[in-house]
Structure 1
Amino acid sequence: MSATYDFIVLGAGGFGSSAFYHLAKRGARVLGLEQFDAAHDRGSSHGETRVIRKAYFEHPDYVPLLQRAYDLWRELEAECGRTLYHEVGLLLGGLPGSGVITGAKIAAERHNLRLETLTSTEAAERFPAYRIPQKFAVLYEPEAGYLEVESCVRAHLDAAVNRGADLHVNEKVLEWKVDGPVVRVRTERGEYEAGGLVMTAGAWSSRRLAELKIPLQVLRKIMFWYETPLEKFDAAAGNGCFFFETANGEFYGFPRIDGKVKLAEHGGGDLVEDPISLDRKLHPEDSAWPGKFVESFMPDLPTRAAQHVVCMYTKTPDSHFIVDRHPEHDNVVIGAGFSGHGFKFTSSIGESLADLVDQKRTSLPIEFLSLGRKALRT
């Protein structure tokens, strides 16, 4: 006999854990299915920290989703009784006409956000951890900071389970199908049916949604940690998160936590053919450009990292997300292609996914993330 639920969430990582929580919060009977353990390190939502910011240089249409995300993170903190978001500020740097600088200014102006403009000299005096080129334009967003990524996933999962939801971890899905108003999911352990399905499969999205032929690319990405005894890299010393657009790539990072400064390159990445066999080893070429960035922009750090972690970006052609209903099944909702800048949105996008599967609509402005947009047509 199949177990029956109101909704099933397939994939309980960053976005799936949030949708799982928001459905449980509404009193729905909900099942979360995860092929690995809870808050695992096999996908895209791990590595201790993720930046959260409002002056969104990628596109100003994201800002309302961020404003809702900030509110929801604070609500989740109150529910779980621990800090998830650390408001330490964000330093943005790049040439005056760069996408980072112009995009952040447009978002701030359109949505009346706090964003300080600094000269490179002012920035160097205020943030001595960095060597900032004189030709750079510099912005500072005081309301930005970082999220504790694994803790956020666990908080969503735990809060959902506390509200009566069922979470099945280490259970691989074999197939799913729709039979009119009923969705059926078969796993290696059993069969389940529900009135609606939320598909948040991360790097496995193309395989789970093969019939749609969504043009997604999965990229191998590496995060590095550099050890330092210097307190000037601490948030308490005024050093927050950073993002620099340079001639050799886009690099972002965090204040010193537990004696280490974490940074990574946002662009580039090797194509991953099979996410299950992701190459997690560190090769010499992996650390070349991050090392050069450290040497040029953060010279008081060692150029050799003490630690690394490998994760994946699942990218759409235009680097924007997919948040929409399945074009053939209105009781199946898709969250995919979060393109390496999505985690900060998991609280609000999870709410939107819950809205779409539960109410068939959402009040949040996600139209620009539709599956039918031109960039996704093959």
Structure 2
Amino acid sequence: MAEIGIIGLGAMGLASAWAAVRAGASVIGFDRFSAGHERGSSHGESRMIRRIYSEGALYNALLDRAYDLWAALEADAGERLFVKTGGMDAGIAGSAFMAEALSSAETSGQAYDVLDAASLRRRYPALAVPDDVMAIFAPGSGYLLSDAANAAMARLAEAGGADLYWDCPVKRIDRTNGGFRIHAADGNYDADHVILAAGPWVGEFDGDLDRALTVERQVVGLFDGPDDMPPFQRVLADGRRIYALPNGPGGRWKLGVYHHRKQRGPDYRETLPVDAADRALLADALGEVLQDCPPPDAFEVCRFTNTADHRFILDTAEDGRVLVSACSGHGYKFAPAIGEAAVALALGEAPRVYLSPFSLARQTKL
């Protein structure tokens, strides 16, 4: 019998596996698809990491711990996984978004600069900057090499003794007197504790989670981007929130619009092909924020798994299973801290970070 069984081996599941072996626990993990698949929320060459988090100060402790653990992962893996470039939150001066971003900067304890439109144009000529736009620049931000990081977590977990079963769907999980029985495609497995981190499919294993989460299709476009530009997100006057970042080294960039076409529901667990509407939406968004860049010429499809208020769920169910949601489209940067907290919950230990803002009960009341 393993001490911890993990259902879902995207970023959150792999981070949990890596954390569990560091804690000395025996681990089994399952994913319904092959390693490195593109059917969830964790694939792709890069993900943005923002040292100042405009979503609010409630994320600061989790973010601080994540930065420590990304550095630990780099050291253990012996490879660079975090590219520090600085990064920006931009929007209309005086808007609610920028007020929250500034408040987060002031409470973060991190270095930052406030840039007006003229300063932005001087510093980053490739940006399209209306006169009423401002930005907060955080030098500690950058991007993560996500595919490489996922592979590193899997490799280190297995080196620590974890058994990871790919292409092995879990059909159901039963509570037993001694823990849990995991009914997988190739047989039954027993574990003292279970961490549910199945992304868009996590609701199949827990009715409360299923009611609290909504799967959403998200598409990003890849294009030849500017030189000497940090990752950024910008909220337009019409409310669209656009993000852009390097797609790893080499001059290619990726761009997306949060909540893309608002295509939501269980049907969007599956990958629908990119169509003309996707391409037009992303080309238009690119023109809003960057000048003189060619339109996207390649595309990736992933999934957001959203809560009502776009926070995470990181909690323990009544039967003892640890519940990890796929984090509403902004969780990747927190993955090692979330994995560590999930393992602490599973083992009955006190997490290093405050988790009340991420309770399941909060979401079921919204």
TM category (shorter chain) comes to: over 0.9
Task: Report the equivalent of 2:364.
Answer: 376
The offset of 1:372, in angstroms, is: 1.2
Task: Report the equivalent of 2:294.
Answer: 302
Partner deviation per Cα, 1:191-247 (whole Å, 9 max, x = no partner): 00111000001000111212555321100000101135xxxx23xx3x110111013
The offset of 1:96, in angstroms, is: 1.7
Q: Which amino acid aligns with 1:274?
A: D
1:103 and 2:130 aligned: no
Runs of 5+ in structure 1 lacking a partner? none
Task: Report the equivalent of 1:124.
Answer: 121
The offset of 1:190, in angstroms, is: 0.6
Structure 1 segment 344-355 matched on structure 2, within 5 A = 344-355=333-344
Partner deviation per Cα, 1:122-152 (whole Å, 9 max, x = no partner): 1111011112111112211110000111111
Structure 1 segment 200-219 matched on structure 2, within 5 A = 200-210=197-207, 213-219=210-216
Q: Which amino acid aligns with 1:241?
A: P
The offset of 1:275, in angstroms, is: 4.8
The offset of 1:313, in angstroms, is: 0.2
Structure 2 contact 202–209 (Cα < 8 Å) conserved: no
Could you say what secondary structure the match of 2:143 adopts? strand
Task: Report the equivalent of 1:285.
Answer: 277
Could you say what secondary structure the match of 1:102 adopts? helix
Structure 1 contact 47–223 (Cα < 8 Å) conserved: no
The offset of 1:102, in angstroms, is: 1.5
1:245 and 2:235 aligned: yes
1:38 and 2:35 aligned: yes
Find the partner of 2:86 among 89, 98, 102.
Answer: 89
Partner deviation per Cα, 1:144-174 (whole Å, 9 max, x = no partner): 0001111111111110100111111110111
Runs of 5+ in structure 2 lacking a partner? none
What is the aligned-residue identity percentage?
29
For residues 44 and 60 of structure 2, the distance between their equivalents in structure 1, rounded to whole angstroms, comes to 25
Task: Report the equivalent of 1:267.
Answer: 259
For residues 293 and 212 of structure 1, the distance between their equivalents in structure 2, rounded to whole angstroms, comes to 33
Q: Which amino acid aligns with 1:78?
A: A
Structure 1 segment 178-193 matched on structure 2, within 5 A = 178-193=175-190
Find the partner of 1:317 among 304, 308, 318.
Answer: 308
For residues 212 and 53 of structure 1, the distance between their equivalents in structure 2, rounded to whole angstroms, comes to 28
The offset of 1:278, in angstroms, is: 2.6
For residues 147 and 27 of structure 1, the distance between their equivalents in structure 2, rounded to whole angstroms, comes to 27
Q: What RMSD, in angstroms, separates the aligned Cα atoms of the two structures?
A: 1.6
The alignment's TM-score, normalised by the length of structure 1, stands at 0.92
For residues 102 and 54 of structure 1, the distance between their equivalents in structure 2, rounded to whole angstroms, comes to 17
Structure 2 contact 216–259 (Cα < 8 Å) conserved: no
For residues 278 and 213 of structure 1, the distance between their equivalents in structure 2, rounded to whole angstroms, comes to 20
Comparing 351-360 and 204-213, the one that deviates more: 204-213
Q: Which amino acid aligns with 1:339?
A: S
For residues 323 and 129 of structure 1, the distance between their equivalents in structure 2, rounded to whole angstroms, comes to 39
Structure 2 contact 269–303 (Cα < 8 Å) conserved: no
For residues 55 and 353 of structure 1, the distance between their equivalents in structure 2, rounded to whole angstroms, comes to 24
The offset of 1:277, in angstroms, is: 2.8
Partner deviation per Cα, 1:1-56 (whole Å, 9 max, x = no partner): xxx21110111101000001111112211101111112221100012111111211
Structure 2 contact 92–237 (Cα < 8 Å) conserved: no
Structure 1 contact 316–376 (Cα < 8 Å) conserved: no
Q: How many residues align?
A: 363
Q: Are the structure 2 counterparts of residues 86 and 99 from structure 1 closer, same or farther at C-alpha, using a change threshold of 3 Å?
A: farther
1:363 and 2:356 aligned: no
1:168 and 2:165 aligned: yes
Find the partner of 1:342 among 331, 335, 338.
Answer: 331
For residues 205 and 35 of structure 2, the distance between their equivalents in structure 1, rounded to whole angstroms, comes to 20
Structure 1 contact 13–45 (Cα < 8 Å) conserved: yes
The offset of 1:110, in angstroms, is: 1.6
For residues 43 and 250 of structure 1, the distance between their equivalents in structure 2, rounded to whole angstroms, comes to 22
Q: Are the structure 2 counterparts of residues 32 and 213 from structure 1 closer, same or farther at C-alpha, using a change threshold of 3 Å?
A: closer
The offset of 1:377, in angstroms, is: 2.5
